[in-house]
Chains A and B, each alone.
Chain A
Amino acid sequence: MENLKQELKLKILEELNLEDLTIEDLQDDTLLFGEKIGLDSIDALEIIVMLDKDYGVKIINQQQGIKVFHSIQTIADFIEESRKA
């Protein structure tokens, strides 16, 4: 789980080109779409592509996306659960 979260943080920084942020800015419970990180709808789509490509998990609809993309923790939980299912 810790490894997964670390990996997700690096991937998000890298794939979304968040050059002005470091891994310290991205705590497990930092709001991804809040003021500090400030992701938008396009980032959400990018994360959906990343989860599909790298983890083989699919986000079915927007409502689910909003819940899952809350923080690094919630994304990691979602991946773990999907893997169990």
Chain B
Amino acid sequence: MSKNYFINAMGCVSPQNSLDNNNFLTEIKEAQIDRLACFEPNYRDLINPRILRRMDRVSRMTIFAASLCLQESGEVEMDAILTGTGLGFMFNTTVFLKNIIESGDSLVSPTTFIQSTHNSAGGIIARMLNSNKYNFTYVHRGFSFESALLDAMLHLEEGCQNVLVGAFDEITEEYIKVMNRLQSLKRLDKDQSTQFLDASIRAIWGESAAFFTLGANQTEKTYAKIKEMKMVFSNGTNESIKPEIELFLEENGLKIEDIDLVLSGIDGNPMTRKNYLDLHESLLPNNDMASFKNLCGEHKTASSFALWMAAQILHKQFIPEVSKLNFKETKAKINNVLIYNNYNNINQSLILLEHV
């Protein structure tokens, strides 16, 4: 049974220029008011216009990210295609809803409906690759990408050689309006420390699409190795995740001090910020820590951007200044990176990576 999950290729479309994996966050794009929108490529560079014609923006981002990853993978056959998305095709969904609300009894165009199905990106990738392999889409909030990743890891354990796994979520005008209204309802906790991220206490909404080739074997292109991943579902109680993290590390033969970098999902979101800070202070006060949501914004599949970032950090042995939160001393070598993400205090996830 394989317990090695090698990240052998990646493709990422994000608010940063993440299109070329040879460069790693050399220029940083900052948030516009309340959002970090994707830095969009020229989609025609990699996507056939015939495939492109029915795609909305998030499909384009997604298929472009998948194509970047596949291009980097070369002639590798994928034994499974796994995607995750928290909200799927919000833009198409909204357009179709609008059409049926406003149409009266006249005919409605079906295209936005058929393209609103959460698994349509997985379907497009299958058609692009002419692949009839296993093809699943996970749609569970802050576990959407993690579930796809679990399925990918399971496939390698079952004997598959290479699988394509990725995630996507988009921001739309309507989405931002709803999220800002929701956020303004949450009262800010006055005791919150401003030790990390001195930006005003509010979330910056974001989006991304990131894909990975996970292989059972190391190649010359391998970025990093995933050691293990864990999802912790809490019932909305403020129960600490500390024991879960300790157990997780123990199961992987590590102690807290072996973690060279914690990539934390903390942002200005008042709902989760206090729990992040409590955890940082109680468990990880001596660990070097970096953030990723100041680069990709908050979204249900932000952890897929974090995985891209962690793999790059391990591969390039470089941590972008802008993401550093709490640095005691810069380690000579970064061996172990732990991604910790907390979605609404209900979906918390841990991804442990190792340098190869």
Bind each other: yes
Give chain A's interface residues, CB within 8 Å of chain B.
16-20, 38, 42, 45-46, 48-49, 52-53
- Smallest distance from the beta carbon of A6 to chain B beta carbons, Å? 21
B110 in contact with A52 (CB, 8 Å): no
| CB within 8 Å for A49 and B49 given contacts A17-B54, A42-B114 | no
Partner of B109, one of A19, A20, A38, A49: A49
Residue of chain A at shortest CB distance from B110 = A45
List chain B residues, Cβ under 8 A from A49.
107-109
Q: How far is B104's CA from A53's CA once the two chains are assembled, in angstroms?
A: 12
Other than A16-B53, A19-B52, give 5 A-B pairs with Cβ distance below 8 A: A17-B52, A20-B49, A42-B114, A48-B107, A52-B106
Q: Which of B86-132 contact A (CB under 8 A)?
A: 106-111, 114
How many residues in B have their beta carbons less than 8 Å from beta carbons of A? 12
A20 in contact with B107 (CB, 8 Å): no
Q: How far is B63's CA from A20's CA once the two chains are assembled, in angstroms?
A: 18
List chain A residues, Cβ under 8 A from B52.
17, 19
Q: Does B50 lie at the interface of the complex (its beta carbon under 8 Å from any beta carbon of A)?
A: yes
List chain A residues, Cβ under 8 A from B54.
17, 42
Q: Which of B39-57 contact A (CB under 8 A)?
A: 49-50, 52-54
List chain B residues, Cβ under 8 A from A16.
53
Q: How far is B199's CA from A3's CA once the two chains are assembled, in angstroms?
A: 59
| CB within 8 Å for A19 and B49 given contacts A52-B106, A53-B106 | yes
| CB within 8 Å for A46 and B111 given contacts A52-B106, A53-B106 | yes
- Smallest distance from the beta carbon of A53 to chain B beta carbons, Å? 7
Residue of chain B at shortest CB distance from A41 = B110
Partner of A19, one of B53, B107, B111: B53
List 5 A-B pairs, minimum CB-CB distance, nearest first.
A20-B49, A17-B53, A49-B107, A49-B109, A52-B107
- Smallest distance from the beta carbon of B154 to chain A beta carbons, Å? 34
Q: How far is B109's CA from A16's CA once the two chains are assembled, in angstroms?
A: 11
List chain A residues, Cβ under 8 A from B114.
42
Residue of chain B at shortest CB distance from A17 = B53
List chain B residues, Cβ under 8 A from A20.
49-50, 53
Partner of B107, one of A38, A42, A53: A53
List chain B residues, Cβ under 8 A from A17.
52-54
Q: How far is B110's CA from A38's CA once the two chains are assembled, in angstroms?
A: 18
Q: Which of B136-152 contact A (CB under 8 A)?
A: none
Could you give 24 example pairs across A and B, Cβ below 8 Å? A17-B52, A17-B54, A18-B53, A19-B49, A19-B52, A19-B53, A20-B49, A20-B50, A20-B53, A38-B50, A42-B54, A42-B110, A42-B114, A45-B110, A46-B109, A46-B110, A46-B111, A48-B107, A49-B107, A49-B108, A49-B109, A52-B107, A53-B106, A53-B107
